[in-house]
Chains A and B, each alone.
Chain A
Amino acid sequence: MRFFKIEKSKMVGLAKRLSETHAVFIPARADQGYLRFCKLDFRSEKQNVESIETLSFWGYRNTIIPPKEVFFPQTEVLFTFSEQMPELSVAIQPLPTVILGIRPCDARAINFLDKVFINKDTQANIENGAGNFNDPYYAEKRGRSVIISLACNNPQSTCFCTSLGGSPDGEAGADIILFDLHENLIARPVSKKGEEFIGEFRDWFKEPGEKELNKKNELVAASRDRMRPIEGILNAEAKLDNLFADFLWNEIHMKCLGCGICTYLCPTCHCFDITDEVRNKRGRRLRCWDSCMFPSFTLHASGHNPRPTYRERMRQRIMHKFNYCPKNFREIFCVGCGRCVRNCPVNLDIREIICRILETKNAK
């Protein structure tokens, strides 16, 4: 696998070209005013994408809404139905997808979601740990996608990817990884799809010089140096095996408000709810994001709620991410992106919770 080079201005041209045949998603502010992955549309006059002509997002830290929404939208119509129609009608994504500028932590998270949503027989290159179920809505979009990630030159103090096996230049989940050298980008294909993509658009890329490659290495090393890893997170699973009934859960949950910010902004969280919306003689079935932190998440029809207080729900969240998913999918379902840390209204910091867990002495 080799390195390639492309000027940023040329990358804009490539993105334009791609947007004619692909749904290209880039980090942008769009109408809502906050960063999320938006579909590029150079022809649209209405699209309010910040400096679309220059794709000026290269220096961004990260989006608020994680890129999981490209393959797993917050609201998705599964099918529509009516009394007149003989069949259900299912929406199909017409164009293949490119996600451009996703961070390595988020790309890694997409890999994790693949294990949840895609049958291991369908995706031959998914590593051990994929599940048995195949979600066609996710799989169909994901199967025809190319992930072009952007290595981090400037991690935030709330980033902790290296504590969890990730890295500012991590390759997991990406087909091509880009390195920002200010005027130029270094591109490195890291999967077969990535190689094919570069092959298809070979004319757009040049060979980088040694000086440029050294610069890239410097930037990567500088990024890595800024991270202050939390030691021992990888031991959390074993620790948690014996802590289900521990007193520590009585204290950890107390300031949680029970909103869904941490779960909705988490690139690996994937719980959803399915509801029907019917009006007169027509309807649709929706899948929408749901959150285990909502008090009524496990409310049964009988009225019983097996997770009745914040204590059980907080325990569930931590156990799911750091114990159950490692058992089910062989991955800790946290990539250290820091969105929950930055956006929690009460500054409940998952890093502090992990440290607390690692320090807890097992009650025998």
Chain B
Amino acid sequence: MDEIEREIRGTVRKLFEDNRIGLFIGYIKGSLPLRTTPGFINGLAGIETLVWNSFCRNNLTVYLPRFFAPDPRRKEAKLPSIGVLVKGCDSRSLVNLINENQIPRENLCIIGVNCAGLVDESKIQDSMGEARMNEIIEVDEEKDGIMIIDEEKHRMKFKKEDVLADVCLNCKYPTPVLYDILVGGKASQKHLSVRKDDRVESFEKKNIEERWKYFQEQVSKCIRCYACRQACPNCYCKLCFAEQTKPKWVGTGNDISDIMFYQIGRIFHQAGRCVDCGACVRACPVNIDLRIFTSKLVKDVKELFDYEAGLSLEEVPPLANFKPEDTQGFITEP
């Protein structure tokens, strides 16, 4: 980890020294023990704050569209050159954003990092047994696992593969698919052999009443904070359908049908675009099981269109395209 961190810092230093970028978006130390936080470095002075570890969960590509959104006040201004650190999943978000004309490829300097999976801090908390209500005060990432000290001075060690984020268990692209510079040597693919997340398959086998009940239970937790939408790199609409008033597509209250409509609407807007990066579920403050829906969507798109989002700058997303061989089943056999 430390070597990758040094590699990242060295690479970013060179980019600034060569004047290739005006801003670099990476991770810096967070204010809480198990967190990192997005860092915006605009010169050599900030380089030493950049970090890389198993807590770098945020998808940083979500920040990029704001720098390139057309602004009538600065029509003549030159677009910035921005460097960004991406993991495998993030790089696919990037491909998607470039394909959808939200970011110009030529203004990016992409540092891809070979990712060995990220830790879900709530899994660590839940695995602390009797001490699981205790606050974690210190964290140390060691070669053979994550060591934590809690507020009662208990020391506990966890194997990384036991506390990996769910979204990492199914990772097919730990090496970024798009980059200018790749750091991190060969990604340890050890975690890919850990228990596979086959929840979608087992969920599909349930009957429709069970699935609807589960869906209702999950989304009834929703407080309409829109963190899922704001964290998602694909959600860049200037005015979200959920906030439109003319016409008012969906109510803003806690009526369960309004919440469901918002959730279904947002997730289905990801069809053919969602790369299953897990940013939405990471952001949700009330732990809604969003990935059961997004991963089902990803699976359906793969089956219906043989397409995975965010892999190639040459591909056209299936919902923006028509091929005669596209499935017609939804019309002929609904």
Contact = CB atoms under 8 A, between A and B. Distances in A.
A33 B243 CA distance: 27
Interface string B242-258: 01010010011111000
Nearest to B57: A345
B31 A341 contact: yes
A195 B183 CA distance: 67
A127 to B, nearest CB: 31
Interface in A259-313: 259-261, 264-265, 273, 275, 277, 286, 288, 291, 294-296, 299, 309-310
A207 interface: no
A349 interface: yes
Interface string B223-265: 1111101110000001100010100100111110000000000
B114 interface: no
B135 A273 contact: no
A206 interface: no
Task: Say what secondary structure dominates the interface of chain B.
Answer: loop
A352 B35 CA distance: 15
Contacts, number: 110
A261 to B, nearest CB: 5
A212 interface: no
Contacts of B295: none
Interface in B17-51: 30-32, 35-40
A259 B231 contact: yes
Given A31-B217, A59-B133, A294-B243, A351 B254 contact: no
B168 to A, nearest CB: 17
Contact of A75 (B36, B151, B254): B254
Interface in A315-364: 341-343, 345-349, 351-352
Given A261-B225, A351-B31, A286 B253 contact: yes
Contact of A32 (B221, B238, B282): B221
Interface stretch (A1-9, A184-192, A250-258): A250-258
Contact of B223 (A74, A275, A294, A309): A74
B286 A32 contact: yes
Chain A contact-residue range equals 35 or more
B312 interface: no
Contacts of B31: 341, 347, 349, 351-352
B163 interface: no
A314 to B, nearest CB: 13
B153 to A, nearest CB: 14
A288 B227 contact: no
Contact of B253 (A61, A64, A75): A75
A251 B40 contact: yes
B37 A348 contact: yes
A188 to B, nearest CB: 26
B10 interface: no
A33 B63 contact: no
B217 A255 contact: no
A132 B285 CA distance: 35
- Indicate the member of A75, A254, A345 with the most B CB atoms within 10 Å: A345
Contacts of A259: 225-227, 229-231, 283
A351 B32 CA distance: 12
A287 to B, nearest CB: 9
23 contacts: A31-B220, A32-B286, A64-B286, A65-B223, A74-B224, A75-B252, A75-B253, A157-B32, A157-B137, A257-B62, A259-B225, A259-B227, A259-B230, A259-B283, A260-B226, A261-B285, A273-B252, A275-B252, A288-B253, A288-B254, A310-B66, A345-B58, A347-B32
